[in-house]
Structures are given as structure tokens and as C-alpha cells.
Structure 1
Amino acid sequence: MSFELSNSAVDLIADTALSVTGLTDYIRLLVEEDKHLRQIWVKGEVSSANNHKVGLFFTFQDPDGGAAIKCVIWRSQLGKLAQLPKVGEQLIILGSLRLYPARGEYQLNVWQTLPAGVGLQALRYQQLRKRLEVEGLFDVERKKSLPSHPQTIAVVTSPTAAAWGDIQKTLKQRYPGLHVLFSPATVQGEQAPTSIVKAIKRVEEDKRAEVLILSRGGGAVEELACFNDERVVRAVAECSIPIITGIGHQRDESLVDLVADRRVHTPTAAAELVVPAIAELYSQHQERVTTLYEVVGNCYTDAADRLQLIENRLRRLGLDRQIEQELQALSWKRQRLLQGTTLQLQQSFAYVEMLRQKLATLDPKAVLKRGYAVVRQENGIIARCAADLTEGDRLLVELNDGEIQVRVTEIKNTRALRDKDSNDHEIG
């Protein structure tokens, strides 16, 4: 069957046909203007990679090898990636779809790459760990010390887990009579973080426990994901009660282990850490008693030796004779002191007697006893001479045994009479 077109039809087709560039531009506009393709996440596996000076070119395909797409990470973007693409690794990449007109091929311009599957979980773990570490939740300074002999212990774990039985058995063997509070929780699955947080809060609100054990009997890495949950980590960090973790894994390290006050690998080890063994305490007590006897005995022996040494030195020094001489010297000084004091006392008595007699001589009353009198005027002034008196004055005469009042009737000037007699004697 032949296909023939008329000249007019050929001319029409020629006028309406697109060029390769036009078709490519049309497809490029459809691809690059699509809002879903401007920023898209794609999951796959790196099948080949070529590090060029302008950037990293690699092929990204489905793990089963079905479909593939060309990708490029420009040199300026490489330092911002969470992980560099390597052949054989599964990644989740973020980019925008672009069309390369020269070859009519499309490629994915990559902005960010993240590990997929287990790698993605590891990335999330590392990012959360770094953020919590910056906040200081893992600092040694904030960790609380454990009580040496707690009487009440709380346990947070699953009631059906072997960990709960191991902890009970260990605590009973090591420290009989211990009060154990059980706060059950789901320790696996999506509900585990919420359940663990509630169990810890129940213990804290109860206010009886002195220390708390958070435990699980081991398991696969994915089964322990709840102990890397930020809610659980913060609940452990904010708990006012010291927390010991015994998650049950030897090699893996959970974020709860890092924030806990103490961590061990197994539930049994946690129970052994939280309380001492009675047998060990008794043995330590016996050792202390023995050590105390030895120390006291050594102290007594040392004291006796020092006392004997001092006694021997005293004997060699002859202190008895020196003490006797000192006592004799003190006795002689005492006698001299007594003699001197007695003599001084006698002299003082004699001096006092002399002063007494002198005062008695000067006593006006003593003069009155010898027959003298004291004459006072009416104003109380002592009359010392006759010239101070006039006839008619009243006088008070004080005698030895009383007083009398008199009136002056005549005044004789004794000194004037004595002068007159002297003059008459001279004339005669």
C-alpha cells in the first residue's frame, strides 16, 4: 500500500511541523514548570558515579534494575550533603527535574541526599543525639548519684518480659526485705514511648522510690527503637529520681543509656548495681571489725611504748631530786615572805597608833575635858577676843558636858590692862 500526499498537503505539514529544538523546548517547559517536579524526593540505588571538576554525575536506578535516571550534584552543593553518593548505596535524594536540550535527555539536579532504610534511621539517630548533646543532656555533671542502701526501688519494664523476673530474683537474693515498686510499660512497638513516659511519671508522682530501673530483655535493633525516642530520653533526663538502664544489648548504645544516671548491659546487672549483696556487706563488716581490733591494738602498744620511754627519760633526768630542791627553795621563800610581811604589819600598827594619839591631842573635845570652854556669839561665830564683844551680848558657852547661855555685863581688855601695868612699872 503506497502513501501519497498531494503537494498542498505536503506544504501544510511542512508549515506546521515542529523543529527538534521546538519539541525539546516544549517538553522542557512541561517538565520544568510542573510544580511536582520542581522539588521531588526520589528513592533508589546508585549504580554508577563519575566525579567531575564541575560536579558529581551518577546514575540512580530502582534496586531491581527496572528504571534509571541521570543525576548531577554541582560542585557548590557537594559540601551541603548529608551523605555523598557511593555505588551500591540506597539513598533518598531531593532535586528538581531538568531537560538537557543538546541530547534531548532529562536529568535530576540533586540538592540533598539522605541514607535510606537502616541508614536513614542511623542519620535520624545521629541528628537527635547531636541536638541532645548540645543541650547538655549527656553531661556528666548533671547525672545524679545512686543511694548506697536504698529501701524502695521502682522497676519500669514489661510485665511479661523475662527482665522483670530476672530483676525480682536478683534483688531477692542480694537484699531480702527490699520494697520493690513495679510500674508496667510496653517496651516495644509504636505505643512503647508513650507507655514508658507514663510509667516513669507514675513512679515520680508516687514519691516513694529512691532509685528507678528502666529495663528490657534485649532484642533486635528495630525492637529497641523506643529507647531512642526523644520523648523517652527527655522523660529520663527530667526525672528527679536516679535512673539505671539495663536494656539488654551489649554492642548498641541507645540515647536513653547516654542520658541515664548509670547504665549497664542487662537487667540482672542493673539489679546487682542498685543494691549491695547482704553476704558482701557482712563480709565487709567482719573485715572492718578485724581491722578496727588491729588498729586499736597497735595504738595501745604504741602508747605503752611511748609511756615507758618517757618514764625512762624521767628517771635519767632525776626530776625527783630537782622537785625536792624546788620545794625547799619555795619553803624558804615563803618563810622570808611571812617574816617580812609580819614586820611591815607591826610597823604599820605603830604608825597608826601614833596618828591616833596625835588626833586625840588635836581633838577639841579633849581640850574641853581639861576645863576649857568654847564661847560662841549669837550668830554662831567663835568669840576669839574681847574687843569683838559689847556689853549686853548673849553668848553660848560650850563646856565638856553641856552648854550654857550668858550675857556680857562687863568687858575687860586684858591686853590694855597688861600694857598699862607695864607702863606704870616703867614710870615708877
Structure 2
Amino acid sequence: MPQALSLYELNSLVRETIETTLRGEYWVEAELSEYRENRGHCYMELIQKDDNSAMLLARAAAKCWRSTWQTIKPYFIRVTGQELHAGMKVMLKVYPQFHEQYGFSWIVTDINPEFTLGDMARKRQEIIRQLKEEGVFDLQKDLRIPMFAQRIAVISSATAAGYGDFCNQLADNSLHLIFHTELFASTMQGEHVEESVIAALNKINDRADDFDVVVIIRGGGGTSDFSGFDTLALAENVANFPLPIITGIGHDRDECILDMVSNTRVKTPTAAAAFLVDNLAATYDAVADAEKRIARCVSHSLDVEHMRLDRLVKQIPLLFSTVRAKEEMRLQRANISICSAATSTIKARGMELATLDRNLSNITAHTMETRHNRLKQLELQLRALDPARMLKYGYSITRINGKAVYDAATLKAGDTIETTLRTGTIKSTVK
């Protein structure tokens, strides 16, 4: 049976081999997939991905002990303006350490912030290039801050001192201008900045008609991580937003991409408030100036019109006399024309009436004669049809109940009929 080593013995052999073979320190480039601090120590997970497929090629744990980390962390933040976070590219100086109980890890002794700055700059330039290719990089610059920008949507942490400074600056302006602000609370530091700010923008977009501008602010504290403001997704949302966006995120070192694509960039929340106050104050001054100019123009116009009226008043008597003379002459000519026309018309109508009178007399006489002859003819016809005349020739008329009988079939037995002759009347009963 072969002789076996215990796990501890095997791990000890590995440790001795590593300590003997890898005695020096090495600079290594890697990406942070995890980062946390505990009791002053820093714990990192380092990875390397394939540049083309993003497939994971290598993974290792790294540690930086408190005594070293308290020195290199402030230096890194001071140079880069950011804290370490997942997804950041770093260059670390490390040496290997293998522990029989805890396994292998790289021990960090130094960090190169210039490498991270270079990678950040490269990523930033790539995002800027993509935004310009999409044609959205300058879209916000085409929007105009409204003259009466008073309805402000604010994206900030509710507890940030910068948000309080912003609101106080707006409320305490010297001209007592009134602003209406509404907070859309968002995470302004750490890994969730991008998704949180985009969610706030979406809420504002749903009520875009309720606001004039959007202000994204943060501040009040030490130097913090600004990487969340250098992402493509956030930049695209800001660039395409329908309302002007003002940024005041307290980033003095360099402009972040969020600053570049926004409509207006200021350094601090109070500067953002001052900008809005100045904008409305300029509008107030413009309105006041316009009011004065309008008053001057109206006063000048009234003076001119008063002078014109005075001239007209003086001209009225002369104009009235001239007009009156002209109208009297026109009335005289019209009177003569009317009289002449009336005389001619009366004369012509008199001749027409005389002619009609003659014609009417002739027509009336002829009509009377014609009607008289017609009446004579009708009289002769009536006499010829007189029943009494017919009775003279032997005809008779039979009646029942006063009505003439034309058909014997209409009579029935027992009816009393009356027959009128030339001389006398006969009553009969039908059998």
C-alpha cells in the first residue's frame, strides 16, 4: 500500500515550494470582480477576461493588510478621484502567500493609480465616441433653459447635505423669487448609481409637463466614487431626456460623462441653485425693463396722439364749413333732378292712364254686350227645358215622397205615388 501525505503535509509542501520558487514581488494587471473592507483590511477578487469573448480566463483572491491599505488607499483616491469598486481595472504589486488552512492568495503591497486612470480615460473616450456616433452627445445642448424655470425636479440623496444647501439657496434668494422643487430620491454613490438615477429620470419623464428643468446634485462629504456617472446607459438617458438637465455633483477634478452630455454643468449643488436664481433674476430684469420700455412707448404714443387730436380739433370748423357748402350744393342739384324726374314721370303716367281709360271703356262696353247676349241664350234654353212646358205636350211626372221616379223597379207594393199631369194630380198605390 502506497504511503500517503496528510493534507496539512501536502499544503506545507506547496507553501514551501511557492516561498522558495516565487520569492519576489510582481506587478499584475487585473479587473476587480469583488471588493470589500473588513476591520481595516481589504479583500479583493481578481479576474481576467478574454478581450474578444469576455470569457473568464483567470481568477484569484488578493488581500491588503490594514497597515499597508491605510497608506495606499488615500493615495489611490487622491490621484484617481475614485474609490475601488467592482469592474475597475487595477495594477497591483503582489507577492504569493499560501496558508495550510486558508489556501492561496496574493498579498497586495502597492497599487498604481496611473494605470487605473488610463483605463478609466480609455473607457470614457470609448463611451464618448459611441455617444457621438449615435448623434446624441450634444442633444441636451440644443435645449434651452426656460426663462421662467421655477418648477425643479431634483435627483439627489434625500439625506445629502448638498440637497439641503441647494434648497436653502433657492429659498433664501435676495429677490424673494419663488421656486417649486420636488425630490426624486436616488443613490448617488456606489454600484447602484446608474440604475437608481435612471429610475428617477423615468419617473420624471412620466410627468415631464410638471417641470421646467431637472437638477442632478450630490455633495457634502469627502471625495467619493464617481464611476457611476461615467456609464453609457446613464449618459444615453440624460442625452435623450426631453427637459434640460443641470448637473452639480461636486466633481472638481474633471468632467464626468454625465457633465459632458448634460445641458449645463456646475461644480456644486449651491452653484446649481445660484444658476437657477440668476436665470430667473435675468428674466425678472428683462420683464421689468420691458415694462419700462412699454410704459415709455405708450406715453410717447399718447403724446403724439394728443398733438394730432389738437390739430384735428382746430381743422374741424374749416372742414365742416367746406363740407357743408359742398353738401348744400349737392342737395340743390339732387332736388332739381328729383323735381324734373318727378314731372316727367307724372306726365308720362298721365298719358298712360288716359289711354287705359279709353281702352277700358271700349272693352267694358264690348264685354257687357257679349254677356247680355249669352244670358238671352241661356234664358231660351231654360224655357225649353221647363217641365210645365213638357206637360203641355202630354207628358207626366211621377213622384214618391216628393222625388221623381225614373225606374219602376225602385217601387214596391204599398208605395203611394203621385202623378202630375198638365191639368191636375193623381195619387196611386202600387200593387
TM-score, scaled relative to structure 2:
0.52
Q: State the shift of 1:281 in Å.
A: 6.7
Cα deviation code 1:362-402 (max 9, x no counterpart) = 31x41476x899767xxxxxxxxxxxxxxxxxxx746xxx9
Cα deviation code 1:296-333 (max 9, x no counterpart) = 21111111223334556677xx5344323312321221
Q: State the shift of 1:259 in Å.
A: 1.9
Contact 1:146 1:274 in 2 (8 A): no
CA distance 1:367–1:403, shift in 2 (3 Å): farther
| Residue identity matched to 2:353 | E
Contact 2:154 2:216 in 1 (8 A): yes
CA distance 1:219–1:236, shift in 2 (3 Å): farther
SS of equivalent residue, structure 1 residue 117: helix
SS of equivalent residue, structure 1 residue 253: coil
| Residue identity matched to 1:328 | E
Distance 1:177 1:310 in 2: 50
Q: State the shift of 1:337 in Å.
A: 1.9
SS of equivalent residue, structure 1 residue 248: coil
> Is 2:332 aligned against 1:332?
yes
Contact 2:248 2:268 in 1 (8 A): yes
| Residue identity matched to 2:329 | A
CA distance 1:282–1:229, shift in 2 (3 Å): closer
Contact 1:186 1:196 in 2 (8 A): yes
Distance 2:199 2:367 in 1: 119
Could you list the runs of 5+ residues in structure 2 that have no partner in the other structure? 1-26, 30-89, 92-113, 384-431
Distance 1:214 1:141 in 2: 14
Equivalent residue number for residue 137 of structure 2: 138
Equivalent residue number for residue 262 of structure 2: 260
Equivalent residue number for residue 33 of structure 1: none
Distance 1:303 1:172 in 2: 46
| Residue identity matched to 2:186 | A
1:166-205 matches, cutoff 5 A: 166-174=165-173, 178-205=179-206
Q: State the shift of 1:133 in Å.
A: 1.1
1:210-289 matches, cutoff 5 A: 210-217=212-219, 223-250=225-252, 252-274=254-276, 286-289=288-291
CA distance 1:323–1:403, shift in 2 (3 Å): farther
CA distance 1:238–1:290, shift in 2 (3 Å): closer
Distance 1:152 1:320 in 2: 62
| Residue identity matched to 1:306 | R
Distance 1:373 1:213 in 2: 111
Distance 1:224 1:136 in 2: 25
Equivalent residue number for residue 417 of structure 1: none
SS of equivalent residue, structure 1 residue 256: helix
Distance 2:356 2:157 in 1: 114
Cα deviation code 1:174-222 (max 9, x no counterpart) = 3676442223333233333333333333444566544321112389998
Q: State the shift of 1:245 in Å.
A: 1.0
Q: State the shift of 1:150 in Å.
A: 4.8
Cα deviation code 1:11-30 (max 9, x no counterpart) = xxxxxxxxxxxxxxxxxxxx
| Residue identity matched to 2:121 | A
Distance 2:136 2:220 in 1: 24
Could you list the runs of 5+ residues in structure 1 that have no partner in the other structure? 1-40, 44-90, 93-114, 377-395, 408-428
Distance 1:127 1:220 in 2: 29
Contact 1:150 1:210 in 2 (8 A): yes
Distance 2:229 2:342 in 1: 102
Equivalent residue number for residue 304 of structure 1: 306
Contact 2:140 2:244 in 1 (8 A): no
| Residue identity matched to 2:346 | Q
Distance 2:222 2:117 in 1: 13
SS of equivalent residue, structure 1 residue 272: helix
Cα deviation code 1:236-281 (max 9, x no counterpart) = 2344443211122456222112222332232122223335688777
CA distance 1:251–1:312, shift in 2 (3 Å): farther
Equivalent residue number for residue 413 of structure 1: none
SS of equivalent residue, structure 2 residue 246: strand
Equivalent residue number for residue 119 of structure 2: 120
| Residue identity matched to 2:333 | K
Give 1:293's match in structure 2, choosing from 295, 307, 315. Answer: 295
Equivalent residue number for residue 77 of structure 1: none
Root mean square deviation, CA, Å:
4.0
SS of equivalent residue, structure 1 residue 223: coil
TM-score, scaled relative to structure 1:
0.52
Distance 2:140 2:204 in 1: 24
| Residue identity matched to 2:160 | A
| Residue identity matched to 1:256 | L
Contact 1:150 1:275 in 2 (8 A): no
Q: Which has the higher contact order (CA 8 A, sep 6+)?
A: 2
